[in-house]
Amino acid sequence: MKRLFDIVISLIAIILLLPLLLGISLVVFFHLGSPFLFKQQRPGLGGKPFTMIKFRSMKDAFDQKGNQLPDSDRLTKFGMKLRSTSLDELPGLISVLKGDMSLVGPRPLLMEYLPLYNDRQAIRHNVRPGITGWAQVNGRNAISWEQKFEYDAWYVENQSFALDVKILILTVIKVLRKDDISAEGHVTVEPFKGEPHE
C-alpha cells in the first residue's frame, strides 16, 4: 500500500508541478550555472547506494589547494531562499517514482556516515529513505543528531499509512512556516561524527 501510494502521489505531483520544475531549473541555471541539479550517492534501502537528486543551491567554490570551501562560503542568498521553501527537494519525486526513495522515511544521509551508526541508528536503512520524515517534522536541522536518529528509529518501528499521512500534512505546515531550516551556528547542519566516546 505504501509503495502504491508513493507511485500515485509522486506521478500526479510530477505532472502537476512540471511547469514549476522547469521554471526552477531555468532560475537555478541563471543563478548558479550548469548543472542545475545536484547529484550525490546516498544510502537507500538496506544501505544500498542510489543517486539522490536535488536542485542546486550552492556554487562551486574551492580554495587555492583545490579543496571545496565550507557550505557557508558556497551557499548563496538565492540558494538559502530555495532551501527555505524546500523547493530544492522537488526532484526527489523522480527518485520516489523510481523506487529509490519514499515520500516518507528517514532522510538519506551521506555514505561516509554508514560505519558511524550504532545498531539502533542503523535500522533507519530498514526502510526506503524519504523526502520527508518524522525527524523533519520534529525539528529537522535544529535538533541534535542523537534526537534525529531516535526519531528515525521510532518511525521505522511504528510506521503506518496513517502516520505517513500525518507526516505529510505536518511537512506542508513546516514548509509554509519555514521552520528549522538550519542548525544553530550553521547554514545547513553540522556533520555527523559518530557517537561520543568517554
Residues of the domain holding 115: 2-177
125-148 pLDDT, tens digit per residue, is: 999 999 999 999 998 778 889 999
Q: Helices then strands (H, E): number in the chain?
A: 7, 4
Cβ(75)–Cβ(114) below 8 Å? no
Q: Is 192 inside a domain boundary?
A: no
Is residue 186, in this structure, part of any structural domain at all?
A: no
For 38-94, how does the pLDDT look when each residue is reduced to its tens digit (9 = 90+)? Answer: 899 999 999 999 999 999 888 775 566 766 666 666 677 888 888 888 889 999 999
Domains of the chain: total: 1
Q: What is the pLDDT of residue 80?
A: 83
Q: Has residue 149 been placed in a domain?
A: yes
The answer to whether residue 183 sits within a structural domain is no
Residue type, 145: W
Residue 166 lies in a domain: yes
Confidence category of residue 185, pLDDT binned at 50, 70, 90: very low
pLDDT of residue 72: 65
Q: What values do phi and psi take at 190, rounded to 5?
A: -70, 150
Task: Report the alpha-carbon angle 144-150-155, nearest 5.
Answer: 130
Q: Is residue 182 part of a domain?
A: no
Q: Which three cell numbers stand for residue 145?
A: 543528531
> What average pLDDT is seen over the chain?
87
The answer to the question of residue 195 being in a domain is no
pLDDT-derived band at 198, boundaries 50, 70, 90:
very low
Residue 198: inside a domain: no
Pairing of strands 49-55, 102-104: unpaired
